Structure 1
Amino acid sequence: MIMWIEPKPSPRAVPASSITVHLDRLATEVAREGWQAEPRYDGPHPLIHVFDRDVPNIGESVTLVHGTTPGLWWYRSSTGEDLAPHTQPVQAAKRVTRILIPYVTAVRAARSHQTQATGERCSPPPARPDPSHAPTIAELQRRFAGVVCWWGAYTYEWWAIVPGGTQWKIVNAEDPDTLIQRVLNTRKRR
């Protein structure tokens, strides 16, 4: 399961304005890479949320954390990966792109497939996920540790990302039972 990892506490107080300056630099670079960047500076940890305009439900949140070297800060992803030092926002933007591309590509491919199969464009997803899917998602993630599952609001299918070393596999299905079979088959092949 992908979850937020709290940033390391700073050994000394640093004004939020100096952190947001570096996050703004990253926001400029991810925009050059073709992403949308939404600053979220009102919480306890200033961050920017990076996403694709056509797939707004999938994104990455990046914050700035104190490094081990005095005066050096790191851009950190929501999964805890240190992306690049604060002096290299271009490198951090490239790493954010590497993280998001597989997910966004999978959603776009599924939409394209659905459009070709039905001849109709997908309707926009609801603003909030359907709460009736939550128990199924929780059960799938409990049964398959490390597998991330969700209901595709655009594709109207079940999805899972199956970890496997350095190569992860994305599978989808029309119903949870078929998704379970596809996850099991993917794990057998690894």
Structure 2
Amino acid sequence: MRTWLPLVIVVALVSLGLWFAESPPKQLLGKRPTQQDHNKAADLIIRDARTRHFNVEGTLAYEVDAERITFFQFARRDRADLTEPRMMFYQGENSKWRTESRAGIAFDNGQKVVLQGDVSIKELPQPGITLRTPKIVIKPREEFAETDKVVTITDGPNRTTGKGLRADLKQDTVEILSDVESSYETR
């Protein structure tokens, strides 16, 4: 019996040491996390995420995929931080527009998505127009995009730049709001 006693004591001390090492200091001190601490914590993290969204007729309206989605639920609204998000908008059964960016934030269950960092929106099939901007707000359900940043639109060798943009992706209309400059290459 005596030969087991030192082994039991060593195992108990190692277990107690691991428990202290893994426990947050607030829990060791008996303090409970505040509501602000809970608000900072993510509710859900999804890696290699892909979501599909359908319109009222039941046909595929758009898809969103991202390297990572970090979801936060707050008292009045929710937010999802997107890492390398890509969105594909459909018209009927054909893909029509594809967006890509480095990061994004989706608000209110995806009703508004802010894309930022080398944002590109490409008309499909290529070659079609390509829009580039550092930041843009997209309302996916309305298929509407807008920004107050500088935008560059290319269509083959043709190029148009300006500040601010409103784009109705459903109607295939793009409006640059100010400081428009264009260069066209004749064929």
- Normalized per residue, which structure has more helix? 1
TM-score normalised by the chain length of structure 2: 0.32
The higher radius of gyration belongs to: 2
Q: Which structure dedicates a bigger proportion of its chain to strand? A: 2
Q: TM-score with structure 1 length normalisation?
A: 0.32
Q: Relative contact order, CA 8 A, sep 6+: which one is greater?
A: 1
